[in-house]
Structure 1
Amino acid sequence: MSVQLNHTIVWCRDKQRSADFLVHLLGLPPPTPFGPMLVVQLDNGVSLDYYNNDPPIASQHYAFLVAADDFEPILQRIRQRGLAFWADPGKQRPNEINRHEGARRVYFDDPDGHLLEVFSQT
């Protein structure tokens, strides 16, 4: 049996703003239209399909594994935008990097309140 995640829909108020936010911070190619959605393609073949929806938008969590060399440039872009970030999903450790077991990770909110996580394993 082979099961793989192919895509997930990300509910948002403004799909262009939300998709552009993610591709800018992560250094990804621009989103592409597919029907009523804007698709952000990730390197492992999974996509996030941004779809406009009326508020309220239920907050979700999306975690992105990045190469060790990509972590610092992403963190710099988070800081340059003046975004709040935390070392924990409960948002109790502001402006810190989680370094548990040699990994690095940070959490931050996207424009619709989805909790995003970026982490590298070394």
Structure 2
Amino acid sequence: MSTDHQSTTTTVQFNHTAVLASDRSLSAEFLATVLGLEVGAPFGPFLPVDLGNGVTLDYYEMRDESIQSQHYAFLVPDDQFDTMIARLEALGVTYYADPSHTEPGKINRLFGGRGAYFDDPDGHNMEIMTRPYARP
């Protein structure tokens, strides 16, 4: 095991992940609508949603199996946060101030920013936030 962490930490980047969905089109369109993005052309069995930092969420359909909820957090521009909340409201989606979904219709103000949690069509716990979490 190498102890030279400095050289790899500056070159390793997150590129993509598969997001399991019972209906890849429904789920990809839902997230793209909320975030103000577009769904890309199918790539094999995947339906991509490209984020602004070179990361792609590749929606993969799993109709015959249960889908375990995952957490996905998105750092969003502060000037677009209210628009995203309005899109959730227009879609009839409840948002919450906390990841446990105990404070409906509220946002949080962690680390000097704003944030909210909501479920996608398959129950993935999505988060939008305007400031990254402070790490020690």
TM-score range, shorter chain: over 0.9
* 3-state SS, counterpart of residue 96 of structure 2: coil
Residue 70 (str. 1) matches residue 80 (str. 2): yes
Give the number of the structure with larger relative contact order, counting CA–CA contacts within 8 Å between residues 6 or more apart. Answer: 1
CA distance in 1, matches of 2:122, 2:31: 12
**Amino acid of the structure 2 residue aligned with 1:34:** F
Residue 118 (str. 1) matches residue 128 (str. 2): yes
User: What is the correspondence of 1:6-21 to structure 2 with a 5 Å cutoff?
Assistant: 6-21=15-30
TM-score by length of 1: 0.95
2:104 maps to what in 1? Answer: 94
Residue 40 (str. 1) matches residue 36 (str. 2): no
- Name the one with the larger strand percent: 1
CA distance in 2, matches of 1:40, 1:87: 25
TM-score by length of 2: 0.86
**Amino acid of the structure 2 residue aligned with 1:91:** H
1:80 maps to what in 2? Answer: 90
* 3-state SS, counterpart of residue 79 of structure 2: helix
Over aligned residues, Cα RMSD in angstroms? 1.2
Residue 24 (str. 1) matches residue 10 (str. 2): no
- Flag structure 2 segments of 5+ consecutive residues without an equivalent: 1-7
- Flag structure 1 segments of 5+ consecutive residues without an equivalent: none
CA distance in 2, matches of 1:15, 1:31: 12
**Amino acid of the structure 1 residue aligned with 2:40:** P
**CA contact 2:107–2:116 (8 Å) conserved in 1:** yes
**Amino acid of the structure 2 residue aligned with 1:45:** G
1:106 maps to what in 2? Answer: 116
CA distance in 2, matches of 1:73, 1:36: 31
**CA contact 1:20–1:31 (8 Å) conserved in 2:** no
**CA contact 2:39–2:47 (8 Å) conserved in 1:** no
Deviation at residue 39 of structure 1 after TM alignment: 0.6
